[in-house]
Amino acid sequence: MIDLRSDTVTQPCTAMREAMAAAPVGDDQFGEDPSVNALQERVAALLGKEAALWTPTGTMANQVVLRTLTRPGDDVIVTAESHLVWSETGAGGANAGVQFTELGASRGYFTPDEFSAAAKPSGHDILPPTTLLSIENTHNRAGGVVVPLEIVDEVCGRAREHGVGSYLDGARLWNAAAALEIDSARVAQPFDVVWVAFSKALGAPGGSMIVGDADLIARARRHRRMLGGAMRQVGVFAAAASHALDEHLGDIATDHANARAVAEVLAASDAVVLDPESVQSNIVIFQLADGIRPEDVVARAAAAGVGVFAVGTGVRAVTHRDVSTEECLEGARLLVAAAEA
C-alpha cells in the first residue's frame, strides 16, 4: 500500500525507537518527567514563548486552549472548515460551551476586514462576545494552504485592538515554516498561544505541545487535568519528538516537493481538476470532472494499492516521510487511473 491518507500514518524509525527505549522518565503529572520537561523548554524556546505544556493529542490541545481562553457562551472566530469545527465531533461546544463563526470560505484564511466585521463586542445584551480567534496554518481542508505572514500579522493586530485573544492551530506549523523558509518562531510570533504536533510532519507516534506565556500555561495545566490529559511516564513520547526535531525537520521540504510532483501528474489528466500551483505544502486536494464520484475514486485507488481520502467533493492525498518520491509518483499514476476508470 502506498499510503497517502495522512501524514499521521508514519512509523517510528529504528533510531526513534532506540531514543524512546533509552528515555529517562518520571511522573509527568507531578512535573517529574525529565524528557517531557526538556522538550517543553525546547519547544517554548523554538517558538519564542515563555512556557509549554505537553498534551497527548492535538484535539486535546485545542480543547484545553478553548477552556483556558474562553467562557461558555463566547464566540470564537475561526477559518472556514477548520479542524476545531469539522474534525473534533463537536468538542468545542461540549467541552468549552463556545460557538464558532467561520470566515474565509475555501481560501484557507480570513482577512483583517472580515474579522473586524464579524467580531462581536463584549458587554452586549444580545450578542455573544468574541473572545478568541483561531488561524489554522497550514490549513488542512483548504489543501495545505500556507497563510501569508502579512495577513496573520494584521489579523492578530486587529484582535488586540478588539481585546480578542489570538490562537494558532499549528498542527502543521513546521510545514508552514518550511514552505515560507522562515524560523518556526516567526510563524508563532503574532499569536498569544500556539500548539504544535509531533505526529504529522515530524513522524513521531504521538504528542502535541501548547506554548504561551507562563500564566496561561499554568491555567492550561488545570484544564488538561480536567480533560484526562495528565499522564505518567510519558517521556518515551517526548523522546520520539525530540529525536524528530533533531533529525526530521530538514526533510519536510522533500514532502512538499513530492506533493507538487503528485499534483503535476494528476493535473495532466482530463478526469482531474487541479492547479499544481495551488499546492503549497504536503497536502493535495483535487476535484474531479463531472460525473466522477470521489468515493468511487477512493475505492478504486485502494483496490490498486493507494490510500487516499474523500474530502467534500474532492480527494485528498498527503505526502510524508514514509513514502519516497518514486512511490509518490507511482501513487499519482494509480490515482489518475482510478479517476479515469
Residues 43-75 pLDDT 10s: 999 999 999 999 999 999 999 999 999 999 999
Q: Are residues 238 and 255 in the same domain?
A: no
d(CA 336, CA 64): 41
Side by side, which strands form the sheet with 283-288? 272-273, 283-288, 314-318, 309-311
CB 76 within 8 A of CB 131: yes
Q: Are residues 239 and 162 in the same domain?
A: yes
Residues 97-151 pLDDT 10s: 999 999 998 789 999 999 999 999 999 999 999 999 999 999 999 999 999 999 9
CATH assignment at residue 326 = 3.90.1150.10
Write down which residue in 230, 247, 264 finishes a domain. 247
CATH assignment at residue 186 = 3.40.640.10
Query: What's the rounded mean pLDDT across residues 69-92?
Result: 97
Q: Are residues 197 and 80 in the same domain?
A: yes
Helices 14-21 & 235-247, crossing angle to 10 degrees? 140
The residue type of 8 is T
Phi, psi torsion values for 168, nearest 5 degrees: -100, 115
Residues 233-268 pLDDT 10s: 999 999 999 999 999 999 999 999 999 999 999 999
> For 278-303, b where at least 16 C-beta lie within 10 A, e where not — what string?
ebbbbbbbbebeeebebeebbebbee
7 found inside a domain: no
Which residues, other chains included, contact 104 with Cβ-Cβ below 8 Å and sequence gap of 6+?
79, 80, 110, 111, 114
Write down which residue in 200, 228, 247 finishes a domain. 247
Helices 252-267 & 173-180, crossing angle to 10 degrees? 80
5 found inside a domain: no
Q: Are residues 210 and 164 in the same domain?
A: yes
CB 18 within 8 A of CB 330: no
Give the pLDDT of residue 298. Answer: 98
273 found inside a domain: yes
- What cell does 190 get? 503574532
Q: Are residues 266 and 299 in the same domain?
A: yes
Residues 163-211 pLDDT 10s: 999 999 999 999 999 999 999 999 999 999 999 999 999 999 999 999 9
CB atoms within 10 A of CB 241: 31
Which residues, other chains included, contact 264 with Cβ-Cβ below 8 Å and sequence gap of 6+?
276
**Number of domains within the chain:** 2
Which residues, other chains included, contact 46 with Cβ-Cβ below 8 Å and sequence gap of 6+?
184, 185, 245
Q: Are residues 72 and 182 in the same domain?
A: yes
Q: Are residues 194 and 81 in the same domain?
A: yes
Stated length of the chain: 341
Domain hosting residue 148, numbered range: 14-247
pTM of the model: 0.95
- What cell does 303 get? 483496490
The SS3 assignment for 51 reads strand
CB 207 within 8 A of CB 56: yes
Tell the burial category of 322 from Cβ atoms under 10 Å away from its Cβ (0-12, 13-18, 19+). middle
pLDDT score of 294 more than 90: yes
Cα dihedral 287, 199, 152, 126 sign: positive
CB 61 within 8 A of CB 167: no
Q: Are residues 34 and 140 in the same domain?
A: yes
pLDDT score of 335 more than 90: yes
